[in-house]
Each structure stands twice: as structure tokens, then as C-alpha cells.
Amino acid sequence: MKESFRQFVHEHVTKLEPLETRASEAWWRASTTGEPDAYRERADLQTRIEAVLSDREKFAALERFRESSDKLDPVDRRQLDLLYLSYLGRQCSPDLLAEIVERASDVEAGFATFRPEIDGRRLTQNDVEEILGGSTDDDHRRRAWEASKEAGRVVAEPVRALVRLRNRAAHELGFDDYYRLSLTLEEQSPEEIETLFDDLDRRTTAPYLAAKREIDEALSRRFGVETGSLELWHYHDPFFQEVPEPDDLDLDASFRDRDLLGIARSFFHGIGLDVAPILERSDVHERDGKNQHAFCIHIDRKGDVRVLLNLKPTSRWMSTVLHELGHGVYDRGIGIELPYVLRHPAHTFVTEGIAMLFGRMSHSASWLSRMGLTDGADPREREDRLRSLQITRQLVFARWCQVMVRFERALYADPEADLDRLWWDLVERYQAVSRPAGRRCEDWATKIHIVSTPVYYHNYVLGEMMASQLLDAVLARLGQPEGNEGALVGRNSVGAFLTDRVFSQGASLPWSDLVAKATGSALSVESFVRQFG
Ligand SMILES: [Zn+2]
């Protein structure tokens, strides 16, 4: 049994490792050059990877191994668990899988080509964002917002059809719906997510309403509207998921004419983590044809880690550099002695948590001071203002995520339900924004994540919880008070702690065990609420 399982793993890795490495290389080439043949190569390799993982006989073999998994040692058993889940998700009928992919890309294309119109004038998404970000004309804002929601009419029915197909795939595999299937494949459950989100709801309602009152009062002054009459289009973005920087707080002042990579290198060096090997292989400046976003990629699971950036000397990019390098130090710290199957982060939200922990630094007054990044403002005042901005941002985003996460669960539970109504019930309940009088529209369908990254949104919140919990664990180890990011600067033991407790473990433990082992307690809202509640 033990031998035949090892033989199985050996064959699996021999097939998959070169495909995955080449797919990563192709993705890197596509993203840095924009060459169409690189995109094609990546898509081809992706199809070949899918073919390996959808092999029926291999899946049957994995099911047999599971019947006597108690005969395996813990490392093999862990590999078996992860292999089983990666094959399981691909075992529904190939025609159905192909149809799901095709329908999803049709809907995405529908989104991409949709252009809102006002008085026959076509707008881009940027136009809408600009109007909502800057216009003080009440009527213009309403019309831009309403126009952007017209996409819902176009895509609502195709989205429902896609949800039905995804549910059919889940039924084929013996699951109630696609929501539960997706979470199971990620070693999560709807009940566990619900418990955390209920807890977060209870603990953030009062502070959120207090923060929102301030936002509303500012909007009321700006638009000359009673706070009770504010509508969703008075907020800064179409979903009220973000909070803009106040005009009189110049966050970029600390970073003008600064070398962001140099700052990051010296910060990470100070905590005992070396990012030089990552930066050597990275692509950091803007260029024609290049992907305009930012990401970190581990090409070969052997330490070839790179980040793609489009640097500008701003606070936002400082945060992004630290975030992506956070993913990078995690990947580089994974134990090379682990088997290939376990040589990746413990969970998406765990590596997000690490990246968020570092990304938050650039908004921390104590970190900025310790790094010598002063901007001429009074340090005490800067600290207070940055702190309250961070709190408001975290609360607003967390409440918005409540809407998304609960909506997705309900959507897959019953795609035929009155989703228009459900969506606004959730917006009113969690974001405390009223529905426009008499509005009946498919506003729920205008969030592209439902199509492009289904059943993922909860991981953003879990990542933030993880970041706060890790920060507290590190600070406790340093004997420092809670919530003081700046205390990490120059502390060599921070890197050693994170490497030992988190990075080096790879995926050898389920995330829940890893979190408990690394931080001393199960994942909870405690630290997050203490920091931002
Ligand atoms: Zn990230």
C-alpha cells in the first residue's frame, strides 16, 4: 500500500511538475511582454494540467488509497488528502466542465464589452469611477451609477444559467451545491465561514455604524443632502467597498523621490528576510505591453520567486511592493525538503494574510517613523489620522464582504430566488445603505467576481483576520504592545519566527492546524476586532 501510493505520487509529480513550471514561465512571459503566443502556450499547458487531474482511473486509485489511509505516515496522508481534493474537483463530465468554462468566459466578455450610457453617450468604467469619485452634481452621480448597473440586465440571466451549471457539476460529485463543493475543495466549510462572519458581524456593527456616521456627515455637507436621504450613488464607488483618502491627508508625501525597492529591501533585511534573490529576477517598471497589475509568482517550487510591479513613488505602490514581497518571502521560506505536493502555502488566505500584514505597514505611522519616512507633518497627528483612516477602511471593506459572502451562499442554494430583493436586503442589513425607493433591478449581477472568482471573497476577510492574528503573535513574542506595526522594524527574530512557524511548513498541515500552531489559537476575529473594531 505504502509503496504503491509512493509510486502514484512519483508518477503524478513526474507528469505535473514540468507542466506547472512551464505554465508559470509562460504566464511570466505573457505578463511581461504581452506576446499572444505566450498566452496561448499558457492556455495549452493549463489544458494539459487539467487533463492530468481529471483522469478517472487515477481518481479511482486515490479513492482506494483513502480506504486504508491509516496505513500511511502523516506526510503521505497529507499528500493523499490534497491530491484527492485536486482530482475530485475535476471529476464531473468533461462536456459539462467545458460548458462551464465557455459560459463563464461568455459572461466575462459580456462584462468587458458592456458600456454604460448617459443621454446616448457611452461611458467607460473609468468614467463612472471618476464621476462617483469627484462629481458633486447629485443628478449626474445618480445617472452614472444607474447606467453602470444596466450591466445587470444584460448579464443576470447568463449568470443564473452559469450558476445552475456549476450546481449541476456539484450534484454530479455528490454535493448539495457548488458553494459547498468549492469550499470543500479548499478545506473550508459553509458552517465554519458562517460562524466567523456572524462573529465579525456582531463585533463590528457598532464601530461600523459610528465610522459610517462620520462618512455620511461629510457626504451630507458635500452634497447638501440630509444624511437620511443619502443613496448608494453618493458614496465613492458603485458598491461602497472602499473609502477614499481625505483630500487633506497626503499619504504620498513620505514616498516622493524615494526608492521604494530600497525601502522594502532594508525593511525585510532588518527582520531577517532576504528579498534580494526575488528582486533580481523581478520585473518592476512600467512598460508597453506589460501586465498593469502586480503579482508574485513561484515559478518552480524550488525558490525561483519573482514579483511583477509597475512602480510609482506613491503610498499605494509602497503597500503593493510590501504585499507582493510578503508572498515572495513566504514562497522562498517553504521547506525545500518537503515533497512537491506540499511545497506551497498552507492556504490562499494564509499567504494573503502574510502579504496583508506587510502591505499594511506603509499605512502605519509607527512603521513610517521607524523607517525614517517622515513627511513634515506632526507625528502624533499623523498617527491619529492614519489610524482612523485604516480603521474606517477595514470596517467598510469587511461589511461589504458580508454582503458578497452571504449573497454567494444564497445564490447557489437557490438561483431561482428573488435575488434582486435578497441583494438589497443584505446591503441594508450589513452596509446600512437603503435601497433606492422602488428599485427593482439585477444589481447583484454587476459584480464580476461572482463569475470570474466564485466562492473566493471570504478569503479576503480571513486574510485580514490572519494578518491581525499574526501581528499579535509576533508582537507577543517581541514583548511589544498589540497593534504596533513599527515594533517589527529591525527585529531579526521576526523573520525566523515566521519562517519557522508558517513558511517552512508549506502545506504539510491543514490551515486550521497551522494557524493554531503558529499563533497559539484558532483563527478568530479577536485580533482583527481589537485592532480595527
Ligand atoms: Zn496578495
pLDDT tens-place string over residues 201-225? 999 999 999 999 999 999 999 999 9
Contacts with 102 (C-beta within 8 Å, 6 or more apart), sequence order: none
Does 223 or 248 have the greater pLDDT score?
223
At residue 250 the predicted structure's pLDDT band, cuts being 50, 70 and 90, is confident
Non-local (6+) Cβ contacts of 153 within 8 A are: 441, 442
Q: Which residues of 131-168 are buried (b: 16+ CB within 10 A; e: fewer)?
A: bbeeeeeeeebebbbbbbbebbebbbebbbebbebbbb
- Using a CB cutoff of 5 Å, list residues around ligand 1, an ion: 355
Please name which of 365, 363, 456, 360 lies closest in space to residue 405, comparing C-alpha atoms.
Answer: 456
Distance 463 CA to ligand 1 centre (A): 9
Supply the pTM of this predicted model. 0.95
Ligand 1 centroid–CA 324 distance in Å is 6
Distance (Å) from CA 116 to ligand 1 centroid: 30
Q: How far apart are CA 369 and CA 436, in angstroms?
A: 45
Which cell goes with 89?
474537483
**Which carries the bigger pLDDT value, residue 246 or residue 164?**
164
Q: Report residue 281's pLDDT band, with 50, 70 and 90 as the boundaries.
A: very high
> Residue 460 C-alpha to ligand 1 middle, in angstroms?
9
- For 421, half-sphere exposure in the C-beta direction (CA atoms, 13 angstrom radius) is 3
Q: How many CB atoms lie within 10 A of CB 78?
A: 20
How many angstroms does the Cα of residue 323 sit away from the middle of ligand 1? Answer: 6
Q: What percent of the chain has pLDDT over 70?
A: 100
Question: In angstroms, what is the span from residue 57 Cα to ligand 1's centroid?
Answer: 35
Task: Tell me how far the alpha carbon of residue 296 lies from the centroid of ligand 1, in angstroms.
Answer: 8
Distances (CA, A) of 180 to 171, 192, 270, 277, 450: 10, 11, 43, 40, 15
Distance 167 CA to ligand 1 centre (A): 28
- 293 Cα to the center of ligand 1, angstroms: 11
Residues 14/83, Cβ–Cβ less than 8 Å: no
Query: What residues pair up with 367 in beta bridges, in sequence order?
Result: none
